[in-house]
Amino acid sequence: MQILICGSIAYDNIMVFPGRFKDHILPQQIHILNVAFLVPELRREFGGCAGNIAYNLKLLGSDPLVMGTVGDDSPLYVERLKRLGINLSCVRQVPQTLTAQAFITTDLDDNQITAFHPGAMNRSHENRVTRDLGAGLAIVAPDGKEGMQQHARELAGLGIPFMFDPGQGLPMFSGEELLAFVEQASYVAVNDYEGRLLEERTGRRLEDLAPKLKALILTRGAEGSVIHANGQRFDIPCAKAKAVVDPTGCGDAYRAGLLYGIASGFDWLKTGRLASLMGAIKVASRGGQNHSVTRDELRRLFRSNFGSDL
């Protein structure tokens, strides 16, 4: 089954400040804040929700189709995805823009200061979902606001089941707009914080929204995840990680597992466990796209974590 991934393609610029922000930001001076941090360590990672989800689906043996927008600085990223064999026929380069980029500075207390430039992402609505793409399943992940709304309408109009994954884009939408996504989607996936914000914005409990969907998935970090489907609740435990190195991209790895399970016709317990395992594999590596796993390793890890076969 062709899985269409509508979402962001971005560079993550990650800097480590070998000190503490609190030692340089004086509370009585924040009205004239002017600080500079020397960051000897800088990494540039390939990221964005669409890029990360596609990377993980490729690890699982799927052939995802990415729909996104990139800028003039995209050749390095595009060439990487092509080498991985990921279908980029629906990725549009927008002239005179930059690819979406996050600039993240972390101090010794794990506090973060982040700036995000959407760049070409703001033009995601220029991509259109059509029946000719051959998608049987899709995800609308964080992207430009207009693009997310448009792609959801197009998918619903074509009768293509899709997962709504608002992620960090959730605060962009009003309660009415979020309810429209829920009405159109077949699946909704949120983390704990996003779930609470979704309830606050819509005035509806997650348990009340779940019956409108084929499944509502709530991830809870180290506490595992919960899948509400078919009037039942499925509690999914965390898979054991080899190491806890970097949570960046774990949610995207989890969603790739969900999509793969749905497309493969797995039941919800098996789908959730695969998603959990993909998140655990990712957390042991820095960045969103530096982990790897073979099919044999995946089967072995699945059995060792859950006592059943993948």
Q: Give the residue-averaged pLDDT of 26-41.
A: 81
What are the residue numbers of the active site? Answer: 252
Query: What mean pLDDT comes out for the span 18-44?
Result: 84
User: Which pLDDT belongs to residue 154?
Assistant: 98
Does residue 286 or residue 180 have the better pLDDT? 180
- What distances in angstroms separate CA 234 from CA 194, 215, 242, 253, 272, one per listed residue? 19, 10, 25, 19, 8
**Predicted pLDDT of residue 112:** 82
Closest by Cα among 142, 276, 297 to 218: 276
What is the helix (H) or strand (E) element at residue 82, kind and residue range? helix 75-83
* Residue 223, both tokens: 């506490």
In this structure, what token pair is assigned to residue 53? 């989800």
Identify the DSSP state of 286. Answer: S
Query: How does residue 215 score in pLDDT terms, banded at 50, 70 and 90?
Result: very high
Q: What share of the chain is helix, strand, coil (3-state, %, to 5)?
A: 45, 25, 35
232-281 residue pLDDT tens: 999 999 999 999 888 889 999 999 999 999 999 999 999 999 999 999 99
Where do the structural domains in the chain lie, given as residue ranges? Answer: 2-20+39-306
Place of tokens 């974590």: 305
Q: What is the pLDDT of residue 31?
A: 76
Which of the residue ranges 74-78, 104-108, 180-184, 203-207 would you say has the lowest mean pLDDT?
104-108
Q: Is the pTM of this model over 0.85?
A: yes
- Per-residue pLDDT, 127: 97
pLDDT computed for residue 225 by the predictor: 97
Is-contact 228 207, C-beta < 8 A? yes
Q: How much is the pLDDT for 144? A: 96
CA gap 3, 204 in Å, rounded: 30
Distance between terminal CA atoms of the chain? 19
Sequence-ordered list of residues with C-beta below 8 angstroms from that of 241, at least 6 positions apart, any chain: 280, 281, 283, 284
Name the CATH code of domain 2-20+39-306 (choices 3.30.365.10, 3.40.1190.20, 3.40.50.720, 3.40.50.1820).
3.40.1190.20
- CA 286, 68, 124, 171 torsion-angle sign: negative
Which pLDDT does position 253 carry in this prediction? Answer: 97
| 67 beta partners | 6, 90
Window from 29-43, 61-75, 159-173, 215-229 with minimum mean pLDDT: 29-43
